[in-house]
Each structure stands twice: as C-alpha cells, then as structure tokens.
Amino acid sequence: MVRKLSALVLTLFLSACIGGNTTPMQFSSQQEIPASMRGKEARQLFGAMKQGSLNRAQPFGGYSKGCQDGAVQLPETGPTWQAMRLSRNRNWGQPELIDYLVKLSQKAAQQPGWAGLYIGDLSQPRGGPMLSGHASHQIGLDADIWMLPPKRLNLSRSERENLSSISLRRDRGAYVNANWTPQHHQVLKAAASDPRVARIFVFPGAKVQMCKDEKGDRSWLRKIRPWYGHHYHFHVRLSCPKGMRGCVDQAAPPPGDGCKDAEDWVRNILNPPPPDPDAPKPQPRRQLTMADLPGQCVNVLQSR
C-alpha cells in the first residue's frame, strides 16, 4: 500500500482508514528491545525513518512519549492547503488528523483573505521523538498551523523552506498585535469546534482577545489553551481515535471557557511574580530511549 497519497485519492483513502480500523491492538510494554536499539536515543532511530509503516493505522502511547503505525502523508499541496518545510519530512499523521486538516483548510478558505492553510509540522513517518524541536507530536495527532493567511497555494519547495509565518503577539504575548484579524478568530473557532479536538495551544493574549470578542456560543473556548510561544502558529491536538486502546489521552481541560485562566497568564506576563528561592533548578531534559516508549514502538520501527 502506498502511503504517499495524491490529493485526488485522499478523501476515499481516509474514509476507508477511519471507518474500518477500529479493532484495537493489545498493548505490550514488556516487549524485549533488540540489542541494536539498546542505549540509543529514540529520536535517532525514529528520525532515520523515511516512510510510514504498512501496518494498520494506530497510535501508541502519549503525545510526548509514543509512536504511530500506518501513518498517512499529507499531500504537499491540495485545493485548500500547502504543507510547509518539506525537507523535515514531518507531514505524516494518523488518518483522523489528515482528514481533520483537509476539512479545516476548506473552512479557512471561506474566510476573506485566506486561500486555505499553510500547515507546519505534524509527525515523523513513524512518529516518535524528533531530532529537533517538539517534545510532543509523537503519535500522529498533533499539528502546527501557521498564523500567516495564505494568499496563494502554488509555493515552490524553495519558497516553503524560506517563507516565514507572522507573529500575532505584543508585549511578550499579553496582547495581540496589528496582524490579528477577525478571520484568525474564525479559523481558530472552526478548529476548536470539531469534536475530535482535545485542545488547541495559542499564546495567552490571543485567548483573552477571543474571550472578549466572542458574542455567541462560547463552549469551544474551553479547548483554546494559553501556552508559551505559539504566536507564529497554533497547535492542534486531537483526542485518541475511538477504540485505540494503546493510545493515551491527555486529561481534559478544566470545566468552563478558560478565560479567567488566560487572564491570569497575562497578569503574570505583565507583572511576573518574584522568583521562588526554594524552587528546584530546571534540569536538562533527558533524551528518551526505546525503554521509555510503549513496547509496540519496537515493532513500528521494524515493520515494512
């Protein structure tokens, strides 16, 4: 089965993947790790994979400690999207994620001034820890979407490597800047309104602005979560697909629209609390090994 799909066959393929692959695979955390993988950083092993596996699509583990089988490659260009930074080979995800992005791009294209979406990193072909950048994006259910409204969708590979997104933040993320538009609000609203979404990360000032501007249904705001950075792009995270028992969901956001929490973030940005002298010093993040990941990730690496 070819995992690099053209836009013409994408919809039919996704329908088959999403509709027919719900039988869960048993989780086995005790699988022996081959000698060739022991002592190696998992990011080196997963970063070397160029293609997805031919196995049934399913995620294993959590967003920051897992891998993915049967990933689908988002076509580089579609009617309402373009994948960016193609040299990274990070435009792979679970069929649910690819379907979500295609449909969201169609909704974005309905906004004035937006031809669709510029889509950044999803996951590596078999997920897992990345050679650089993200700690998450490991199970094919995370995606970064640029804040830059696409004016055209015929960018060359070179343009996709060199074009930059735009920042929407002001005062270290306490407020939006002049690049923020009502269309950004509507795209984020559409992104959060899909029931498959677990949460969306964006800088605190954007969440506060959306809380001020939303006059209708506010339920979707619960999924918009303030987080560091995320002013050049917003980060979508889908829930584990139904029936995938090897996939570990993140805890649900707290009840309510989350607007007060975002205001607290902004207050702390503008008036940082004094440092806690008793707080432990941050330690360098240890790189994950295969022993840290679900047992199925060994099979994911070894599969065709």
Q: Which of 227, 248, 246, 247 is nearest to 236 (CA)?
A: 227
Q: What is the phi/psi pair of residue 109, to 5°?
A: -65, -15
Q: Using one digit for the tens of pLDDT, what is the confidence trace for 261-277?
A: 999 999 999 999 998 88
Q: Using one digit for the tens of pLDDT, what is the confidence trace for 88-133?
A: 999 999 999 999 999 999 999 999 999 999 999 999 999 999 999 8
User: Residues 74-86: what's their mean pLDDT?
Assistant: 98
Q: Which domains does the chain have, with CATH numbers?
A: 39-267 (3.30.1380.10)
Q: What is the phi/psi pair of residue 8, to 5°?
A: -70, -35
Three-state secondary-structure class, residue 97: helix
Q: Which of 208, 117, 212 is nearest to 171 (CA)?
A: 208
Hey, CA dihedral for 262, 265, 271, 273, is it positive or negative?
Answer: positive
Three-state secondary-structure class, residue 225: strand
Q: pTM here?
A: 0.90
Report residue 1's pLDDT band, with 50, 70 and 90 as the boundaries. Answer: very low
